[in-house]
A and B are shown apart, each in its own frame.
Chain A
Amino acid sequence: MPERLKIAAVTTIYFKISHAEEIVDRFLDGYGWNGTHHHPPMDLVSLYVNQIQKDDWSRERLKRHPEVRDSPTIADALTLGGSKLAVDGVVLVGEHGHYPKNEKGQTKYPRYEFFKQIVDVFQSSGKSVPVFNDKHLSWNWEWAKEMYDTSRKMGFPFMAGSSLPVTWRIPSVDLPRGAKVSEALVVCYGGVDSYDFHGLETLQCMVERRHGGETGVKWIQAYRGQKFWDALSAGVWPKKLMDAALCRSHTLTPAREGFNDIFPTVDDMQRLTKDPVAYRYEHNDGTMCTMLLMNGLVADFNFACQIAGRSEPFSVQMYLPMPDGRTTLANFFSPLVNNMEKMFLTGKEIIPLERTLLTTGLTAAGVESLYRNQTRYETPHLNIKYQPSTESTFWRT
């Protein structure tokens, strides 16, 4: 029997419902998958946690799983105390934790720095293994690009991204491959340099399937606060698609007292939504996309697009079983972990890395446009072309 793969986890912080906890726990304790409690056929052998705080649960996990090495450094997690790379895969979770923000409001999560240390071990060992990076590659576009280039140059499988593209969909549908998409939009919630990335990944996992595949993005413009409402009334993005997306929500805030599920007017939206943000951008082939953060109005991710030849929009919710009172378990991490397992076992990227490279760049570009007083920001650096995976990769079994 072949030996079980050894996986190292490199994380920022490990509190309840932090990304590290959700991802690493699924390797340690298994998770519901395909109708059973699935244990990954590999061993998580080492854990590095950058910040151990009062609410830490990694110590409890290490105690309960004594086979896992408590690694004081990233290099140690990868070499297991030796001098050479001693694992078959690396999970990098650089989300949450106390890190400074820059003047643009971006949290400087050390994903690039962690990645560099991982690559240093690869280089000194003369060998590299697959790496998964949770969420976007880096807050800094140049660094993200370098991470991408490094993985291509050194030839190791590298996957990244959000759970939004791979979670349940309600209804359980994918954009038909090759569909001609003129406009696409997502209505979601959360903050800038945070859930905006999830919204952008929601959009991108769908529009990359359009006719011709991905062609890259030309420019982006952000709208915030009153400018958001002005743009809506000026028809900058199609209200019809916004309404279609809202009809997929399960969390529309009731606009009137005594009614539990009522469709909001624009006035209602304006009253209910706090600090709305829009990123409007154009792909090189002319496809237009809009990401809307509408806190106070919805608490889910809803996609809609216009497909040539169809009078009505195509729409779907990317469903997150969210442990904010709705559930107790953030099971949208299950398909993400399952994709990691597949990559570690096969050495093949299940999701094209270019998707997350593009959404990383879009997130930074959206922040940049906001920082530049919501002006249009040209993005020649986002001339990223790729084709989607042949198979649908969202959760449906």
Chain B
Amino acid sequence: MLTRRRFLESAAVAPLALNALQGAEPKRIAIVCTIYRYLSHAQHMGDRFLIGYPLNGEWHKPNMKVVSLYVDQKPDGDLSEARAKEFGFTVYPTIAETLRCGGKKLAVDAVLTIGEHGNYPRNEKGQILYPRYEFFEQARKVFEEDGRVVPYYNDKNLSYSFEKAKKMVSAAHSMKFPMLAGSSLPVTWRLPDIELPLNCEIEEAVMVGEGGSDAMDYHALEAMQCMLERRKGGETGVKAVQMITGDAVWKAGEDGRYSKALLTSALSRSDTPLGLTVQDGRTQDLVGNGELPKLVKEPAAYFIEYRDGLKATLLMLNGAIKDYNFAARVKGLGIQATSTQFFLSPVPNVTYSAPLMSKAEQMFATGVAPYPVERTLIVSGILESCLTSKVQDQKRLETPYLGVTYRAPTQSQYARS
């Protein structure tokens, strides 16, 4: 029954949104990025608009033309000029010129901004100060001055600063241009292919991930958020957060601040347990066999208390696993239906960025963001607040400013066809 439905979806429904627009005049796209180097986000995402990408079992070529590019830094290995030459567009020295294609007025139909990678300083909270807000501001000014707006895509979190992120979203809403942002994790394949039912009653959630802050923790938090926003009542905002590190993380587990059953469940979805598995191939119940504290030298827990009472925890477990897995306790559902891996396919292809670019393409083509930018806004704020808690003696931090409310999209948006 499930398979038949899925088959029909893959057969007919999914490609329509994009393919229906193939006959129209190609949309003109400006790319605004920090760096354009092999395997930078700008390269693997931007290239998808130049050479196409795998989508729904085909090599999909967007009916779009990249007409201009801005790169903030040109490190060794910069590909911007080579791409411009090969694909017939121009690299401009400023964002305004990029959006106006060297002319006097906004001359593109959409902006793809990728402010990830490159050499930028970190602040005292360890956040890399990527100039996403600053890029946005320059684009916004062009929209304002030229009296026209176009869809705007922003890769990953909106800004390291929630205040700045909030300004971006407010501007998009008041100036009425569609805006989409965020991570590829919410839209990548899931193993298993599950979605929490809309309006379900979520009692608790645990997400596990690995990697550095504030890069990979953002992805993990957004993956968790795309599941939690589907709960009854929709997103209500965040009341308080706390980030703790070190042995306190294990103690918090003993004290029941997060469910060890959910942690076991999330880890049961991992394909990358380290330690004894790497040594001799054996399977492991990392919670049950007591290996977790031995493997993770610097654990970090991100506790999120939502305004409606839901509690969620992200555990960053460097040294124990290499993938991103989620588990929740949901009223009326078994744990097999509420736990999954967000599948990050291998380097170099990183095919998981293809579904993300298909969402950007969809917004560029239709003028409608397939999911609310508020998701990215709230997670930008959750991450910044957690990192603030971390540097403020890891104390619980009330977050009255995180009153971001929104509803999940009715249609599931992750890759499944």
Contacts and interface: CB of A to CB of B under 8 A. Distances in A.
Nearest to A302: B57
B219 to A, nearest CB: 18
B348 A248 contact: no
Given A176-B4, A258-B38, A328 B271 contact: yes
A16 interface: yes
Interface in B398-417: 415-417
Nearest to A179: B7
Nearest to A259: B47
A263 B354 CA distance: 13
A396 B193 CA distance: 7
B54 A25 contact: no
Interface string A23-34: 001100111111
Given A35-B265, A37-B264, A328-B272, A250 B280 contact: no
Contacts of A102: none
A251 B268 contact: no
Contacts of B38: 258, 260
A171 B6 contact: yes
Interface residues of B, number: 68
Nearest to B268: A32
A310 B11 contact: yes
A57 to B, nearest CB: 5
Contact of B192 (A25, A38, A172, A258): A172
Given A35-B336, A250-B345, A329-B283, A171 B268 contact: no
A30 B282 CA distance: 9
Contacts of B287: 37
A369 interface: no
Contact of B281 (A16, A36, A170, A392): A16
Given A171-B6, A173-B3, A173-B6, A258 B348 contact: no
A349 interface: no
B279 to A, nearest CB: 8
A395 B416 CA distance: 15
Contact of A261 (B3, B280, B322, B349): B349
A9 interface: no
Interface stretch (A123-131, A267-275, A311-319, A380-388): A311-319
Interface of A: 16-18, 21-22, 25-26, 29-38, 57, 60, 168, 170-174, 176, 243-244, 247-252, 254, 258-263, 304, 310, 312-316, 319, 321, 323, 326-331, 392, 395-397
10 contacts: A22-B281, A25-B283, A35-B334, A37-B267, A57-B281, A250-B351, A260-B38, A260-B47, A261-B351, A328-B274
Interface of B: 2-4, 6-7, 10-11, 38-39, 43-44, 47-48, 51-54, 57-59, 79, 82, 189, 191-193, 264-265, 267-274, 277-285, 287-288, 322-323, 327, 334-339, 343, 345-351, 354, 415-417
Given A176-B3, A260-B348, A396-B192, 17 more contacts: A30-B283, A33-B268, A35-B338, A37-B264, A37-B287, A38-B268, A171-B193, A172-B6, A251-B349, A258-B38, A261-B354, A304-B57, A321-B271, A327-B323, A328-B274, A328-B277, A328-B278
